[in-house]
Amino acid sequence: NIVLTQSPATLSVTPGESVSLSCRASQSISTSIHWYQQKSNESPRLLIKYASQSISGIPSRFSGSGSGTDFTLSINRVESEDFSIYYCQQSYSSLYTFGAGTKLELK
């Protein structure tokens, strides 16, 4: 199984800061990584596909980068609605797996 390690587990920030969330794969997965946001009591929302491709309707402050084993979700100037959990998910192997999540919280 491909293991995805997300760091940090929790990130405390103030609105207006820019942040980077990391996702590291246990083997090279090209760009087969996708990012989701899950707010409390809501279902996950797809933010970024295939490492860096944007999704229609997602604010432009969200961006993704990386290839191989190291991936980053960046949020430019965090807004109050962004405080939630962020997951990465790989689809390089036919057994899709998720990272454990990074919780973005208000400092």
Partner 1 sequence: EVQLQESGPGLVKPSQSLSLTCSVTGYSITSNYWGWIRKFPGNKMEWMGYISYSGSTSYNPSLKSRISITRDTSKNQFFLQLNSVTTEDTATYYCARGYGGYSDLFAYWGQGTLVTVSS
- Give the position of tokens 């962020």: 86
Of 34, 62, 82, 104, the residue at the interface with partner 1 (CB under 8 A) is 34
Q: Which is nearer to partner 1, 72 or 102 (CB)?
A: 102
**Count, residues in the chain:** 107
Of 23, 32, 75, 84, the residue at the interface with partner 1 (CB under 8 A) is 32
Of 62, 71, 86, 87, the residue at the interface with partner 1 (CB under 8 A) is 87
Neighbouring residues of 59: CB distance < 8 A, sequence distance ≥ 6 = none
- Partners of residue 73 on adjacent β-strands: 21, 64
Should residue 64 be labelled a site residue for partner 1 when binding is judged by CB under 8 A? no
CB of 77 to partner 1, least distance (A): 26
Q: What is the DSSP letter of 23?
A: E
Should residue 89 be labelled a site residue for partner 1 when binding is judged by CB under 8 A? yes
List binders of partner 1 among 2-31 (CB under 8 A).
Answer: none
**What CA–CA distance (Å, rounded) separates 70 from 50?**
13
